[in-house]
Chain A
Amino acid sequence: MSETYAVNMDNVSKSFGAFKALNGVTLRVRRGEIYGLLGPNGAGKTTLIRLVCGLLEAHAGTVTVLGQRMPNVAVLRHIGYMTQQAALYPALSVEENVGFFAAINGAEAGVKDALELVQLYERRGSVVATLSGGLRQRCSLACALVHRPELLLLDEPTVGIDPQLRVQFWDYFRQMAADGTTIIVSSHVMDEADRCQRLGLIQYGRLLAEGAPADIRAQGGSQNLEEAFLSLAGRREES
C-alpha cells in the first residue's frame, strides 16, 4: 500500500476542545497525482494538511505518509509545506529566504532552480518586506519546493493572487507532478478543481465525496462542480 499511496488517512478524527475539526476521514492520495482538497472556509482542510505533515496528531485513526506512520520527523525531509500565509522572513532577501529553507533541508544546490521555476531569479536580491503579495506567494512556494520534496502540501496557495499568477502556479504544479511529485492542494475556489486529477470534497470535518472531477460531477448530478458540491453537501446534511 505504501508503494501506491503517498498519503493514506484511515478513519482520522481530530478535535480542538469540543469542536470536531475532522470526523472519521478516510482518504488516499496516489503517488505523483495532484489531489485537490476542496471545501468552504473552516471545513477542515488546513487541519487535514497539518495532520499530514505531523504538526497535529490525530485523536483517532492513522495517518501514513510515504509509508511512515505520522508524526515522524524523518519523513519531513521528503515533504514541502506551503502555509496559507506566506510565511517568510521579511528582513531577508528572496534568495536568503529560499537559501535558508534549502539549508535546513540540506538542499543548497536547489536554490537557483527553485527561483527560476517561480520566475523570481531576477528579483532574488529584493528584500521580502518590499515585495507585493503575489511575489511573496511565489517566494513562499519556492521555499516549499526548493528541496524537491516527494510530497508537496499547498494550503490555499492561490488565495489573494491575481488570475495570471494563478495560471502560472498551476503550470508549476503540473510541471512538478509530471516529474513525480505528489501534490495536495487545498482550495475553496471550485474553478481550480478541474485542474486536479482527483478531488476530496470536505465539509464540517467530513469527506463528502472523493474521485476525479468527472466522478464528482456525476455523483452530484450536475456538470457544474459548484452545484455538484452543494448537492452533495445538501444530501449529507439531510442524512
Chain B
Amino acid sequence: MSGHRIRAITRRLLQGFRRDRRTLALLFVAPIVILGLLGYLMRGSSSSPAVGIANQDSGPLGVVVADALKQSSHITTSEINSADGDAKLKDRSLVAYIVLPADFSQQAQNGNVSPEVHLEGSQPGEDAPVMQALQQALIMLASRVAGRSVSFQPKVSYLYGGSDYDTLDYFGAAFVGLVVFFLVFVITIVSFLNERSQGTLERLMASPLRRGEIVVGYMLGFTVIALVQAVEVLIFALAVLRIHNQGNVLLIFGMEALMVVAAVNLGIFLSMFARSEFQAVQFIPLVIVPQVLLSGIIFPVSTEPTALQWLSNVLPLTYAVNGMRDIMVKGADLTWPSLQVDAAVVAGFAILVIVAGTATLRRRLG
C-alpha cells in the first residue's frame, strides 16, 4: 500500500466534487430537506383526526365522556347523528365516530361500559389517536363513578379493513403503485440521458423527427415495458403476497397504467435538467423521496401539519396512492367521485409532463 497513491486517488475524488456543484448541493442539502421534512411530519403540529360523537345517553355520564372527548388534543370532534355516521366516514369528513348508547350511564353504574367506535379503517395510522382519546375520556368517567370500578369494552367496527387486515394489506395497495412509478421513472430518465450521452439524440435532432414524435415514441415504448412490469407486480401482490383486495383487478391495472404514463413522462421531462446519469439519479432523493413521505403512503395526509397537507394535495402521487387504496381497500369503482378525482388528477399530471417534456426538449444545442 502506498500512501502517496492513495492520497492521489482521494485528492482526485475531492477535486471532482469541487467542480460538481450540483452533487455537492445534493450531498449537503438533500439530507437536511429529507430529515427536516420527516421531523416536521412527525413532530410538527399535526392535524387531529376528525371524530363524530353521537351521545344518545339518557343519563348524566354520556355528557361527561363527550366533553372529555371534545377537550382531547388527540382528535377534533363534532356532534353528529349516529344515522349519518357511515356516510361521513365514506366521504372522509370523519375518520371515526363514537356512539354513546342510550343506557350508557346505566352501563357505567353496572361497572361495564361499551361505547360503539366506528372507524373508517383504510388508513391504520388514523385509528390510534381515536382510541387514545376514548381511553382518556373513559378514565375520566371512572373517576366520576363513585364506589366501584368500571371496565371498558368498546365495540369497534370498521367500515373498511379491520381485524382481517394486516400491515401489508394497508401498505401493499400503495406500494403496488409506488414500485411501478419509481422504477419506471428511474429507467426512463437514465435511458433518455443515454440517448444524449451516446450522441444519438444529436442525430435525432438533425433528422426530420419532431419533438413531440420523440416524446410520444419514448412514452409508448416505455409504457409497453412498464405495463408488463405492472402486470407482474400485480400478480405477485395478489397471488403470492395475497394482499387484500376488495376492488376490480382491471381498475387497479388502469390506475397503475396512469402512473406508468406519468412516471415515463416525468422521467423524460426531468432528464432535460441533467447532463449525466449521475445527475439524473440525484433526482431520486429530491423528487421521489419527498413524494413518498408526503403522499400518504406512510403517514396519513389528514394527520400531517396543515402546511404539509397543502403540499401533499398538489403532489400527483398522493392521488395515485389514494386511488389505489380506494380500489384495493375500499372496493371503489369508477362511480365513486373520489376515484374519479384521483384518476383525473393522475391523468392530468401525465398530460402536463408530456407537454412540458415536449416543450423543454430542445432541437438546438445552444
Chain A residues with CB under 8 Å of chain B are 16, 50, 53-57, 71, 73-74, 76-77, 79, 81, 83, 85-90, 101, 104-105, 143, 153
**A54-B363, A54-B364, A71-B363 known; A104 vs B209 contact (CB < 8 Å):** yes
Checking A16, A71, A77, A101 against B364 with a beta-carbon cut-off of 8 angstroms, the contacting residue is A71
Checking B200, B202, B208, B365 against A77 with a beta-carbon cut-off of 8 angstroms, the contacting residue is B208
Assess the B199–A83 pair: CB atoms within 8 A: yes
B1: interface (CB < 8 Å)? no
B204: interface (CB < 8 Å)? yes
A79 to B205, CA, bound (A): 12
B207: interface (CB < 8 Å)? yes
Top 8 A-B pairs, shortest CB-CB distance: A87-B199, A81-B206, A53-B206, A77-B208, A85-B199, A76-B208, A87-B200, A87-B203
Checking B200, B202, B204, B208 against A73 with a beta-carbon cut-off of 8 angstroms, the contacting residue is B208
B366: interface (CB < 8 Å)? yes
Chain B residues with CB under 8 Å of chain A are 198-200, 202-210, 363-366
User: A74: nearest residue on chain B (CB-CB)?
Assistant: B208
Note all chain A residues with C-beta closer than 8 A to B198: 85, 87-90
A57 to B365, CA, bound (A): 9
A153 to B203, CA, bound (A): 11
Shortest Cβ distance from residue B203 to the other chain A in the assembled complex, whole angstroms: 5
Assess the A143–B365 pair: CB atoms within 8 A: no
**A56-B365, A56-B366 known; A104 vs B207 contact (CB < 8 Å):** yes
Assess the A56–B364 pair: CB atoms within 8 A: yes
Shortest Cβ distance from residue A6 to the other chain B in the assembled complex, whole angstroms: 16
A77 to B207, CA, bound (A): 6
Note all chain A residues with C-beta closer than 8 A to B209: 104
A101 to B205, CA, bound (A): 12
Note all chain A residues with C-beta closer than 8 A to B204: 104
Shortest Cβ distance from residue B225 to the other chain A in the assembled complex, whole angstroms: 14
A-B contact pairs, 25 of them (CB 8 A): A54-B206, A55-B205, A55-B364, A56-B365, A56-B366, A71-B363, A71-B364, A73-B210, A73-B363, A77-B208, A79-B206, A81-B203, A81-B207, A83-B199, A85-B198, A86-B199, A87-B198, A87-B203, A88-B200, A89-B198, A104-B204, A104-B208, A105-B208, A143-B203, A153-B206
Assess the B366–A16 pair: CB atoms within 8 A: yes
Note all chain B residues with C-beta closer than 8 A to A88: 198, 200
Shortest Cβ distance from residue A63 to the other chain B in the assembled complex, whole angstroms: 12
**A55-B205, A55-B206, A76-B208 known; A89 vs B200 contact (CB < 8 Å):** yes
Assess the B207–A76 pair: CB atoms within 8 A: yes
User: A87: nearest residue on chain B (CB-CB)?
Assistant: B199
Note all chain A residues with C-beta closer than 8 A to B207: 76, 81, 101, 104-105
User: A21: nearest residue on chain B (CB-CB)?
Assistant: B366
